[in-house]
Every structure is written in structure tokens, then in C-alpha cells.
Amino acid sequence: MANSLFQLASALVLQGDSVQARPLYEQSLAVATELGHWRLIASCLQGLAVVLTAQAQSLAAAHLWGAAETLLQNSATILPRVLRARAERAQARARTKLGEPVFAQALAEGRTMTAQQALASQPAYLSTPSSPTAPTRPAASPAGLTTREVEVLRLVAQGLTDAQVAERLVISHRTVTTHLSSIYNKLGSNSRVAAARFAAEHQLI
């Protein structure tokens, strides 16, 4: 049953229907976890990562890919060949959207997680499918950030360095540093990865 659910979800992904595929992957994952079928668990995590990328949740997807890699213990991917190509493209999109430093950090974090931990790391994404073509608009001032701070946070979350942010916004490097200090203070963190996670959760990237 778990394998049938996985195959059906994968077929829907190939048809571009990530909304319907998502709960099927989750159901398959639940059964596979109960059975302790680690290869199918890894496949479901990879499939869900493709779905989450389509739903603009790249950070959560990177965690799932990392957790799947740990389960596979560096063995070859076990996704069906056609879906494998889709997964590779999805991972490339997530890497581009998040920026290489943030994506690499999120992937590394995922490798330290169990499947359950990876799923729980982004509590907002499970069982709350959203349309990839009509994302919910972020709040005007999440966490009390100013308009300029949101602009800085968005660029940092995309992987730009402080110097690149300064150049893009035509402001000084010191001004970027000041904005980042204010952003970190409002978010209660001094980590670029945590800031990127906040940006992703609030759909700022």
C-alpha cells in the first residue's frame, strides 16, 4: 500500500499536480515509517522535497533532501528514473532560490536529522498545501521589520553577501551591517541561515 501511494504521488508530480501529490507522499511516508522501510522513507522524503520546491518552500525541501541522503548513506538515489530528473531540476531551483551558502547549510542540517525531525523542522508546511501559482502574500511588516530591512533580508536570504546587498540597494556596506544588526535583533538570532528560514516562512523570497 505504501509503495502504491508513493507511485501514485510520483505520477501526479510528473503531471504537475503537487497539491494532490503531497498528501499521498505523506500517507506513504507514514506507512513506510511504521514498517521501518528506510528505502521507501527516503524516496518519500525526496518526493516531498520536489513537491515543497514547487510550493515555494525550498528551505524545508533542503532539510528533507539532507535527511534522505543520511538514510541512503551515500548510496545511489532510488527514485524512479523519470522522477529523478524532476528531482534534480527541483533541487537546482531550490539551490538558486536560496543561494548556495544557505542551501548548503540547510542540506547539512537535514543530514543530521531523522526523517521525523526533518518533517518537524518546518511545522507550517505539513498538511497545509498552497498553490504554487498563487502564494499567500507576506505580511507588510513581519516581526516589525522596516521596508528597507525587508529588502535587505530578502537579498541576504537569496545568498548575497553584504557587499552585494550594498551594491544592489545602492547603500554603504556599513548601512547594510546596521540593517542586519537590527534584523537579527528583531528575529532574536544572529544567523544568516535562521534569517533565511524566516524569510522563506514569510514568503519574502
CA–CA separation, 205 and 197 (whole Å): 10
Cell representation of residue 123: 511545522
Task: Return the pLDDT at 78.
Answer: 61
If DSSP states are collapsed to H, E and C, what string results for 72-96? Answer: HCCCCCCCCHHHHHHHHHHHHHHHH
Task: Return the pLDDT at 82.
Answer: 63
Work out the burial of residue 23: count CB atoms within 10 Å of its CB; fewer than 13 is exposed, 13-18 middle, 19 or more buried.
Answer: middle
Work out the burial of residue 203: count CB atoms within 10 Å of its CB; fewer than 13 is exposed, 13-18 middle, 19 or more buried.
Answer: middle
Q: Is the distance from CB of 205 to CB of 163 less than 8 angstroms?
A: no
Cell representation of residue 148: 528597507
131 Cβ contact partners less than 8 Å away, ≥ 6 residues apart: 19, 55
Task: Return the pLDDT at 136.
Answer: 40
Cα–Cα–Cα angle for 140, 101, 66, nearest 5°? 100
Domains in the chain: boundaries: 2-120, 142-201
CA–CA separation, 99 and 82 (whole Å): 26
What dotted CATH number matches 2-120? 1.25.40
CA–CA separation, 143 and 165 (whole Å): 21
| Ramachandran angles phi, psi of 54, nearest 5° | -65, -25
Cell representation of residue 154: 530578502
| The architecture CATH gives domain 142-201 | Orthogonal Bundle (1.10)
pTM: 0.54
Over the chain (205 residues), the average pLDDT of each successive run of 10 is: 86 84 86 82 87 84 84 62 77 85 84 75 43 41 84 83 84 86 87 81 75
Instruction: With residue 155 as reference, give the H or E element that holds it.
Output: helix 147-157
Task: Return the pLDDT at 131.
Answer: 37
Cell representation of residue 98: 536560496
Quickly list H helices, 76-191: 81-98, 100-111, 115-120, 147-157, 162-169, 173-187
